Amino acid sequence: MSIAIETRGLLKRFDGFVAVNGVDLRVERGTFYGFLGPNGAGKSTTIKMLTGLLMPTGGELRVLDRNPLDPSESLEIKKQIGVVPEDLALFDNVTAREYLMFVGRMYNLDVPTVQKRSEELLALLDLTGVEKKLTMEYSHGMQKKLALAAALLPNPNLLFLDESFEGVDAVTSSVIRQTLNTYVSRGSTVFLTSHVLEIVERLCTHVGIIADGKLVEQASLDEIRQGSSLESRFIERVGRDEHALQSLTWLEDAS
Ligand SMILES: Nc1ncnc2c1ncn2[C@@H]1O[C@H](COP(=O)(O)OP(=O)(O)OP(=O)(O)O)[C@@H](O)[C@H]1O
Ligand SMILES: [Mg+2]
């Protein structure tokens, strides 16, 4: 099976601090990969390196059989990937349709195609009722939905979603899950981070767990769960500070 993402010894240092510490990822095409880890573990930093937003300090990367660090290949990769970043970075003073038209034209789609796909995506994600609003007036969940619509619009082969389900209502979450399942079953790949393990358990076929910048687990969901829940396996791999749990004695009594 061909590989969508492969890294060897991926490293990112910020000044003296090592945020991503020798990560070896392997994501086959057609898989739904959940990238888990506690706050500050290095998930977003990894996604930024895989999508060309951040230069690694060291290591090797392959994305869709190309090298994102090679300027002659990185544009071709960008044409084939969709990204919903953690900080959504939408433009403020545009409507959803204007934003999607801008994104579609950036990907060289013709105007009728952008219009058709935009209407379908806005309807799917329940954003048609707010068409006159500017994105700066959107709620957080609405902004996430528009960012997802923009990522899907060019029909990418590989989709990166950094906490895209967080803050989205239950109905939309269910619609997005169905859409992504269809997307993966046609052979495309999703690389997703989420703190909602229930969503990861429902969607993902493969899971990687990162802690303190190191990949501590990478396998199929069934192998990782080993008969127990993903949550207990996650806590086992990542560790929990039992001392911190016991230390808030002042919170037990009302003032
Ligand atoms: N630009 C930066 N400069 C310095 N340190 C950074 C920078 N970006 C990230 N870091 C540090 O790198 C580490 C990993 O951050 P990252 O954003 O990748 O975590 P994360 O796993 O996405 O966490 P979360 O679940 O909270 O989103 C953190 O300790 C963070 O403070
Ligand atoms: Mg993050």
Look up the CATH number of the domain holding residue 153. Answer: 3.40.50.300
Count of the separate structural domains present in the chain? 1
State the pLDDT at residue 242: 65
State the pLDDT at residue 91: 81
Tell me which residue range forms the domain holding 16: 3-241
Give every CB contact of residue 85 below 8 A, 6+ residues apart in sequence: 44, 47, 48, 51, 53, 147, 160, 162
Residue whose CA is at the smallest distance from ligand 1 atom 30: 40
**At 82, is the pLDDT very low, low, confident or very high (cuts 50, 70, 90)?**
very high
Q: Do the domain assignments include residue 26?
A: yes
- CA 112 to ligand 2 center in whole angstroms: 35
Q: Do the domain assignments include residue 253?
A: no
- CA 75 to ligand 2 center in whole angstroms: 24
With a 6 Å cutoff on the Cβ, whether 208 touches ligand 1 is no
Write the pLDDT tens digit of every residue in 179-231: 999 999 999 999 999 999 999 999 999 999 999 999 999 999 999 988 788 99
CB atoms within 10 A of CB 220: 12
Cα 234 to chain centroid distance, Å, stands at: 18
Do strands 189-193 and 158-162 pair parallel, antiparallel, or not at all (unpaired)?
A: parallel
Q: Do the domain assignments include residue 249?
A: no
Q: Do the domain assignments include residue 51?
A: yes
- Contact, 10 vs 72, CB < 8 A? no
- Contact, 158 vs 64, CB < 8 A? yes
State the pLDDT at residue 244: 63
Task: Provide mean pLDDT across the span 38-45.
Answer: 96
DSSP 181: H
**At 88, is the pLDDT very low, low, confident or very high (cuts 50, 70, 90)?**
confident
Residue 43 pLDDT > 70: yes
Q: Do the domain assignments include residue 61?
A: yes
Residue 113 pLDDT > 80: yes
Judged by phi (left if over 0) then psi (alpha if -120 to 50, else beta), residue 19 lies in alpha
Residue whose CA is at the smallest distance from ligand 1 atom 7: 14
Q: Do the domain assignments include residue 252?
A: no
With a 6 Å cutoff on the Cβ, whether 117 touches ligand 1 is no
With a 6 Å cutoff on the Cβ, whether 157 touches ligand 1 is no
Give the ligand with the smallest distance to the CA of 194. Answer: 1
- CA 204 to ligand 1 center in whole angstroms: 23
With a 6 Å cutoff on the Cβ, whether 12 touches ligand 1 is no
With a 6 Å cutoff on the Cβ, whether 45 touches ligand 1 is yes
Q: Do the domain assignments include residue 50?
A: yes
CA separation for the pair 34, 191 (Å, rounded): 6
With a 6 Å cutoff on the Cβ, whether 41 touches ligand 1 is yes
Q: Do the domain assignments include residue 75?
A: yes
